Structure 1
Amino acid sequence: MTQSFSQLPLSATLIENLQSLDYVQMTEVQAQALPEVLNKKDVIVQAKTGSGKTAVFGLGVLNQLDVASLKVQSMVLCPTRELADQVAAEIRRLARSMPNVKIVTLCGGVPARSQVSSLEHGAHVVIGTPGRIQDHLDRGSLLLDELNLFVLDEADRMLDMGFQQALDDIIAFVPKQRQTLLFSATYPKKIASIADHVMQQPIMIKVKGNNDSDIAQSYYRVKNNEDRLAGIQLLMLAHRPERVLIFCNTKADVKEVTQAIMNYGFNVLALHGDLEQKDRDQTLIRFTNKSTTVLVATDVAARGLDIDDLDMVINYHIASDTEVHLHRIGRTGRAGKQGSAHSFYAEKESYKMKRLSEFLEVEIVPSQLPSHSVLHQNTYKPPMMTLRISGGKKQKLRAGDILGALTSENGISGQQVGKITLFDHCAYVAVNRDTAQMALNKLRNDKMKGKTFKIWLLKD
């Protein structure tokens, strides 16, 4: 099996760029799938998040791109806006040595009008969510006559989120002569049915996750939700994780758990389907930039998030599906780092535990929760705080402008500045908690790009 990217039938430009990005040895999914993808076969890949699958279809997209033709040649469907943005960013990285590649993202939460304008100027690659893609197809602003590569990323979650009808409608617009790639963490009957409908003699590639060995799993037997909430407090105080993601099976549980953790004195935010896009973006930014310790979410709301350095995952209830359990815990212990996953279960969930034990091929033995003596310890705050700026890309604001303003005379040091995130009309910057007020005053008193922007410090 080919293991090196340089052995693949990729253009010299792509090979050179991969080397500059330190892409040398392929992951298992890349080694198995890329030769078939580059051979223009229809391919089904069953692999979990973090396996390197985005590079599989990203390189497939770029290797057959005709830059001279400003027609949509490839389309990638994703379940969430966050995942679509991540996929677009990764493909742009892979394409950075190829001049004039135009990639357009089409997702909800932003005005369709600006997207129509982008499409009118031409695009090579379209990446988006089913609802907004369907909208553009219906209004005639997105034309797929020249499409030769169609990608369904995280297809199982698109179905979980109710996109079956939208997928059917989109497929009706896609040319019959094309290559189709389907990626899914699980492979239920509904996915098999879609594959039968949209693919020609697909090659099936199944890769088991290789991160699980880096995850220490513990299971706690409880009687009720009060025990679960008390257990979360004990785990937080004993282990003091910088960032922990708690999975709940329902929105009602998300709200209950969020309130309880707030009452314990921790910084916590919730992620669920009722949030407006702006609030969802802000929640994710504050968690990823280490301004919030705990994020409580449902599986559907958290799908597609790619968060590095996650210390701990807690399952408030055991997931109904064993593959979903693996997907949850796979968010910690990435890139060879040790992570921990803690799961609560009650007597009535014994059947789930039996199924999980068989799936993991290990005997699950209940663990002891930390001693109640940890309750004497103080809660703790996250290391960073977030500033919101009333200007973004459309105001020509760049990350360098924000960093420069913060670190100029009488400012804070570069080491005290964290992640900077730019949107079209706003920006967020994380700063060390101890310097937050100083950073706020500095940005309020200084100009960026010759302008004064409104600045807010997002409170805990």
Structure 2
Amino acid sequence: MNFSDLNIENKLKRSIELAEFKTPTPIQSQSIPISLEGKDVLGTAQTGTGKTLAFTIPMLNKLLKDKKAMALIICPTRELATQVMEIVLKLNIREIGIGNALLIGGESMQKQLRQLKKGARIIVGTPGRINDHIERKSLNLSRVNYLVLDETDRMLDMGFTPQIEIILKFIPKDHQTLLFSATLPENILKISQKYLNNPERVSVGSLSTPIEKIKQETFQITADKKYHELINQLVERSGSILVFVKTKHGADKIVKRLKYDGHKADAIHGNLRQSKRDRVIRGFRNGNSRILIATDVAARGLDIPVIKHVINYDLPQVPEDYIHRIGRTGRAGKDGSALTFLTNNDRNMWRSIQKLIDPNFKTFQEIEKNRSKKNKKDKKSFNKKKKFRDKTNSKFKKNKRFNKKENNQRSKFKDKKKSFKKDHKRSKFKNKETTAGYTNNPKYLDKIKEQNKPETEFKKFYSKGKKKFKNRSRKRPKNFSFKKHKRK
């Protein structure tokens, strides 16, 4: 199947040829015919498989047929929104000429307002900025009949669910929805049930396994030696390298150290202005800087074909992000490599990442535990007494009368044993001599006098002051001194 075989407008066919899109990818060949029929689509595929073109072609075809219609594409990040707009502009040549607007944070509001006033029919943006325009009443979504939710799992992870629901309230009920996602967790399925109308399910490849052409490696290391090993890897590897770190501060710190050591590097994270982000990505694409240090902001939607290597300097916070990180390399069928630094603190996260990639994955410790359990079951200790009891019980069962007699004898013996124990306790209690308790009650003390102890002993015990010392036979000498021992 080629793009020329699709049932689309001739103008759009020409623009696809000029953009040099020749053979469709599996996700494109499966989803485009369905969406051209006007059906809702729930599409899942790995990153770098051409999902953007899968919803852009049917969108432009629909807007060419219906000149009053509008399309809205919602993306999780500014980078992804700008990349989607780039593909839209590639296909939206002069012959087609449909007005468009890119609504993202970090860019001037005045420019966006001018684009909307001109009558933009293709709206690409992030949830936050789209909501800003709805509140300003500068964006009217009453004519939107084509809605795309791109990288929906990422949007939900970033907490955009309430904002998306507000946007959907302003879109008419009679519209076509295309939901694309790299993974398909339960919250995505709930949204699809709520907002999609009998969607056609399109799935390409495994959702959790990374692309096969990516060579994955791990490197056991301590935290203090990470940077030195990073330098070694940068020297050994050729081509552009994308390094993922946890924090924005960490990204800036590593860039400073790399520049000091003579490496061309740039950082990309959430604190940068949009103009600065665009400049960094442009420089990385053109080869001005070979190394790009990024946080997870760049993990999804960053389509830079020149990336040959991905290094996970730090592990991601969410296991799914590992797949999206390494998906930045090996795009469009090319080979790629991914190296992950692992410290002792990363064990639990790495285990969960491996279980995500392979649900049947078991650690060495788990395998050993299972083996030990099996061995314990096989090597049960042989109990002779138990076997003898089983045999005797089987003999007793054969002779019922003997069993009854035996049971009666046992019950009699038990009763005797109980009565003997009770009598023994009582006798013990009777013979027990009552000891004097600590009390000031004189009546109680008189009772104690009448008991076994003689009065003399009682007086000696309860007498106060110096009297009890006078009765002693041995007296302490008046002149009493300790001998001093000198250390040798």
CA–CA distance in 2 between the matches of 1:253 and 1:159? 25
The answer to whether structure 1 residue 289 and structure 2 residue 286 are counterparts is yes
- Asked if the contact 2:300/2:325 (under 8 Å) is kept, the reply is no
> Residue 318 and residue 208 in structure 1: after superposition, are their counterparts in 2 closer, same or farther (change >3 A)?
farther
2:332 is matched with which residue? 335
SS in 2 for 1:64: helix
> Residue 103 and residue 216 in structure 1: after superposition, are their counterparts in 2 closer, same or farther (change >3 A)?
same
- Asked if the contact 2:49/2:331 (under 8 Å) is kept, the reply is no
Amino acid aligned to 2:126? T
> Residue 320 and residue 205 in structure 1: after superposition, are their counterparts in 2 closer, same or farther (change >3 A)?
farther
TM-score relative to the length of structure 2: 0.68
Amino acid aligned to 2:179? L
- Asked if the contact 2:210/2:357 (under 8 Å) is kept, the reply is no
CA deviations 1:186-226 (Å, max 9, x no partner) are 22233233223321122222223798233222111123x22
Equivalent pairs, count: 360
- Asked if the contact 1:67/1:101 (under 8 Å) is kept, the reply is no
Q: Give the RMSD, CA atoms, in angstroms.
A: 2.6
CA–CA distance in 2 between the matches of 1:301 and 1:337? 20
Greater helix proportion: 2
What is the identity percentage for the equivalent residue pairs of Structure 1 and Structure 2?
Answer: 36
> Residue 282 and residue 364 in structure 1: after superposition, are their counterparts in 2 closer, same or farther (change >3 A)?
farther
1:454 is matched with which residue? none
Higher CA-based Rg: 2
2:97 is matched with which residue? 100
CA–CA distance in 1 between the matches of 2:109 and 2:162? 21
CA–CA distance in 2 between the matches of 1:16 and 1:255? 45
The answer to whether structure 1 residue 88 and structure 2 residue 60 are counterparts is no
Higher alpha-carbon deviation: 118-127 or 280-289: 280-289
TM-superposed deviation, 1:301: 4.2
Structure 2 unpaired stretches of 5+: 364-488
- Asked if the contact 2:310/2:338 (under 8 Å) is kept, the reply is yes
CA deviations 1:341-379 (Å, max 9, x no partner) are 1101123323333344444459899xxxxxxxxxxxxxx
Aligned pairs for 1:21-420 within 5 A: 21-66=19-64, 69=67, 71=68, 73-96=70-93, 98-208=95-205, 212-223=211-222, 225-239=223-237, 241-361=238-358
1:456 is matched with which residue? none
Amino acid aligned to 1:354? R
Amino acid aligned to 1:222? I
CA–CA distance in 2 between the matches of 1:133 and 1:74? 13
CA–CA distance in 2 between the matches of 1:43 and 1:273? 31
Amino acid aligned to 1:234? N
Higher alpha-carbon deviation: 187-196 or 207-216: 207-216
2:474 is matched with which residue? none
CA deviations 1:86-115 (Å, max 9, x no partner) are 212212222326433212212222222232
SS in 1 for 2:287: coil
> Residue 85 and residue 174 in structure 1: after superposition, are their counterparts in 2 closer, same or farther (change >3 A)?
same
1:379 is matched with which residue? none
Amino acid aligned to 2:13? I
1:382 is matched with which residue? none
Greater strand proportion: 1
TM-score relative to the length of structure 1: 0.72
TM-superposed deviation, 1:236: 0.9
SS in 2 for 1:116: helix
TM-superposed deviation, 1:259: 3.9
TM-superposed deviation, 1:270: 1.7
CA–CA distance in 2 between the matches of 1:266 and 1:38? 49
- Asked if the contact 1:17/1:97 (under 8 Å) is kept, the reply is no
SS in 2 for 1:335: helix
- Asked if the contact 2:218/2:340 (under 8 Å) is kept, the reply is yes
CA–CA distance in 1 between the matches of 2:330 and 2:340? 16
CA deviations 1:308-353 (Å, max 9, x no partner) are 2112110012334443222211212233433221101123323333
